[in-house]
Structure 1
C-alpha cells in the first residue's frame, strides 16, 4: 500500500527500527530515536543495494519518490546510484574548495611562468583584492552574473568607471580559465558586457606647443633634486618611452657601442621586445648617470635603495614641484608631446613614429616589417629629435609668426623642421640657419 503524507507524519518511533514501504523499493525507516530516513532498494548485477535519500521532513514524500525514480533510471542504464552520488559529492567538494581567489592566483602563477611583466601581475593581484575577501572566498562555479554585478557596482558608484570595467575584464579572464580547467561551467562576466557605465576616453595631459615644451625642458635643466630623478627627467623627453619602462631601465639593456637600448619583451606593454636608438644627447645623459649608478642593476635607482628602481610617482611629483599641474603635463605625456611634434614636423613616416612609440601594429606580417624597415629612419629621427629638443630648450624655437609684406609671406621657423609643405599657394620666404630662402609652397 502506497504511503501518504499523513501516514509518514504520524509514524511513531518504537523500541526497534521499522520500515514503512511505499512501492518500487522506496521505504521510510523509523528509528527509536525518532528520526525518519528515506531509503530505496535496487538490484544491480544481481546484487541488492540500498541508497540513502535523506531524512523526513527535509525530504518530503514527493521528493523521495522523485529521487527513487531517478535512481531507477540510473539502474536501467547500468549506473550505480550510490557510486554516482559519491562521485557527485566528491566533485561538489572539489568545486567548493576552488574559490574565485584561488583560481585567480593560479592564473596569475601561470602568467608569471609565461613571463608576464611584473607591473601587470601586480595589477592582477590588486584586482583580486578590489573584488573583496568575501567574494574571493566564493566557489567560482557558484558565482552568478548578479553577484558579480553587485560587487562591480560598488566601484561604479564611487565613480571608478575605468577600474570597474577593468575589473569585469579581469574577472572574465579568471572565469574563462576556470572553465578551461573544469572548475566552472560558464563566464558570468561575459554576460555583463553593456551593463556597466563606460568611461570617457581620457588622454594623458601633455604639452604640444613647441615654445611651452621648450619652457618645460628649461625647467628640467634647472631642477634640483636626487641625481637619478634629474637624469631620468632629462632622458625621458629624448627617448619618449613609457614611464615604467624608463624607471625599470637596466644597464644590461644599454649598448653604448651600438647606441641602442633594447627593452626585453617582459617589460613591454605589448609583450614584444623593443629597440630604442639613442642619440648623442641620450648617450651623454646615460654616461653621466653611469658614473653614479653603473655599479648597480638599475639606471635610475630608488632614492631609498639601489635594489629597486625609482618609484612610480617620482617623475609626476617632480613635474608638480616644477610648477606643471597634473592637468597640464604628466610623465606619460612626454610620449604625446613627441608624437604630436614629430608628426607636425612632416619629416617622418607616421609608421616610423608609431614604431618608435612601440605601438602595436595590426597584423603579424606588417608588425615584422615595421620592426625592421624603419630602423634607419628611426635612428635619424632620434638624432633629429634630440637636436630639436636642444633648440627648444635653448629658446631657439619661436612660435611661427607670419606677416604679409608686399604680397610675400614672411615666416620664421626653426632649422630642424627643414622641408615643409603648406596648404596654401604662395611664395614663402624661410629663414634657415640665418639665411633667407624662397620656397614655392604647396
Structure 2
C-alpha cells in the first residue's frame, strides 16, 4: 500500500529495533530510525547488484518530492545509467564549476600573494577583486572575455577614478595567469589589453620632486648640514634622511631599539615597514657618528626623534617637509620623499648594481617564487654602497 502523509508523520521505530522501513512502491521507502529521523531511500538493481539511493530527509523532502526523485532515477535506469554514479558525476561537476568561479580563483591567488604585501595593500587588492570586479565575481573564469575586462576598466573612468584602472588590470592579468597555470582557463583576456585605447590617456603621474644634479645636491646637503636654527630633532632627522634611503615616516618613527651599533645596522621590524618583512639599513661611518651624538640628547626617549610636546611619540608628519621649505626649497624643487629617488638615480649612474639599490630601497625584486626574502641578502655589498653614498654626499657639499 502506498504511503500517505498521516502514516509518515505517525511512524515510529519500535523500541527493540534500530530502524523500521515503510514501503511506498517501485523501490521507494522511508527509513524510520530509533533516533526519530526519517530518511527517503530507493532500492534498485544495476549490473546485477542491489544498491540504495538516498533521496533526502522527511519532512524537508516531502512524499511528493521523494516520488518525483525516485521517478527521475528510474528514468536513468531505463537509459542504462546508474543514478548513484550520475549523482556523483553531477556533484563533481558542480564542485569543479564552483572552483572555477572568478571569486574563488581570485581569492585563492590573493591568499598566496598577501604575505608579500603590507596589510593595507592586501586589503586594497582584495577590494579591487571583490568590489571593482564585482561584475565577474560569479562568472566562471573560463567564460570571461576581453569585453568584460573593458567594462571593468570603463567603470573606473565613469566613476572618476581612471588611475585605478592600471593596477586593477595588472592584478587581473596575474589572476588569469594563475588560472592558466592551474588549467582552469585557456585564455587571459587581461593580457595585452589596450587600456589607453579603451579609457583614453591617463592623467600624468605626479612624481616626488628630487634633486639629482651634483652641484645642486651639494648645495642642498650643505644647507641641511650647516643650518642649525630651529627644532633640534627636526634638524637631526633631516640630516639623517638623505643618508639612509628610508621613507620620511620611517625616519621620523625610528626607535633606539632598532639601532645596533655593534652590527652597524638599523634593523626595522616588519610591522614598521610597508611590506611584511624586516629591513636592514647598513650605517655608514657618518651615520654612526651622528646617532652616537644624538643618543646623548634623546636617549631618554623610545624614539630617536621624540615629539616636543610628548616624548613618547615621534616627530609629527610634516616637519621634514616644512624644514626643507624653511631652508628655501619649494615643493617643485625637492620633497622629503624625493631623497630616495635622488639616491637611486645617482647610484645607478655610478654603476652600482640595481639589485643592491632596489633591496636597500625595500623594493621587492624578482617573482614571488624566485624571491624568498632574505633580509641579509647582498648585505656586504650594500654596506659598501651605503658608505660610498655618505662619502659622495660629503664630497659634493659646498664649502
TM-score for the superposition, normalised by structure 1: 0.51
Q: How far does residue 195 in structure 1 lie from its aligned partner after superposition?
A: 2.9
Distance 1:204 1:259 in 2: 30
Q: How does 1:18-417 map to 2 (within 5 A)?
A: 44=46, 45=49, 76=81, 80-85=85-90, 100=103, 104=107, 114=115, 116=116, 120-130=118-128, 133=131, 135=133, 139=137, 141-142=139-140, 144-145=144-145, 146-156=147-157, 163-173=164-174, 185-186=184-185, 191-197=190-196, 204-217=208-221, 220=224, 222=227, 229-243=234-248, 245-246=250-251, 249-263=254-268, 267=273, 273-281=279-287, 283-285=289-291, 287-288=293-294, 291-292=297-298, 295-296=301-302, 298-300=303-305, 315-316=320-321, 319=324, 324-341=329-346, 350-351=351-352, 355=356, 358=360, 371=378, 374=381, 377-378=384-385, 380-388=387-395, 392=397, 395-396=398-399
1 or 2 for the larger relative contact order (CA 8 Å, sep ≥6)? 2
Given that 1:277 and 1:382 are in contact with CA atoms closer than 8 Å, whether structure 2 keeps it comes out as no
Q: Which residue does the alignment assign to 2:24? A: none
Alignment RMSD (CA, Å): 5.5
SS at match of 2:195: coil
Given that 2:267 and 2:281 are in contact with CA atoms closer than 8 Å, whether structure 1 keeps it comes out as yes
The Cα offsets for residues 345-367 of structure 1, whole Å up to 9 and x where unpaired, read as xxxx6236862562678899xx9
Q: How far does residue 71 in structure 1 lie from its aligned partner after superposition?
A: 5.2
SS at match of 1:351: coil
SS at match of 2:378: helix
Distance 2:126 2:309 in 1: 29
Q: How far does residue 235 in structure 1 lie from its aligned partner after superposition?
A: 0.7
| Structure 1: 5+ residue stretches without partners | 1-41, 52-66, 397-442
Given that 2:249 and 2:317 are in contact with CA atoms closer than 8 Å, whether structure 1 keeps it comes out as yes
Q: How far does residue 166 in structure 1 lie from its aligned partner after superposition?
A: 1.6
Distance 1:285 1:369 in 2: 22
Alignment length (residue pairs): 323
Given that 2:256 and 2:304 are in contact with CA atoms closer than 8 Å, whether structure 1 keeps it comes out as yes
Distance 1:43 1:320 in 2: 89
SS at match of 1:151: helix
Given that 2:284 and 2:387 are in contact with CA atoms closer than 8 Å, whether structure 1 keeps it comes out as no
Distance 1:304 1:72 in 2: 84
Q: Which residue does the alignment assign to 1:428? A: none
Given that 1:101 and 1:136 are in contact with CA atoms closer than 8 Å, whether structure 2 keeps it comes out as no
- Residues 185 and 305 of structure 1: is their aligned pair in 2 closer, same or farther, counting only changes over 3 Å? farther
Q: How far does residue 122 in structure 1 lie from its aligned partner after superposition?
A: 0.9
TM-score for the superposition, normalised by structure 2: 0.56
Distance 1:149 1:352 in 2: 39
- Residues 369 and 215 of structure 1: is their aligned pair in 2 closer, same or farther, counting only changes over 3 Å? closer
- Residues 159 and 209 of structure 1: is their aligned pair in 2 closer, same or farther, counting only changes over 3 Å? farther
| Structure 2: 5+ residue stretches without partners | 1-43, 56-71
Distance 1:304 1:103 in 2: 47
Structure with bigger gyration radius: 1
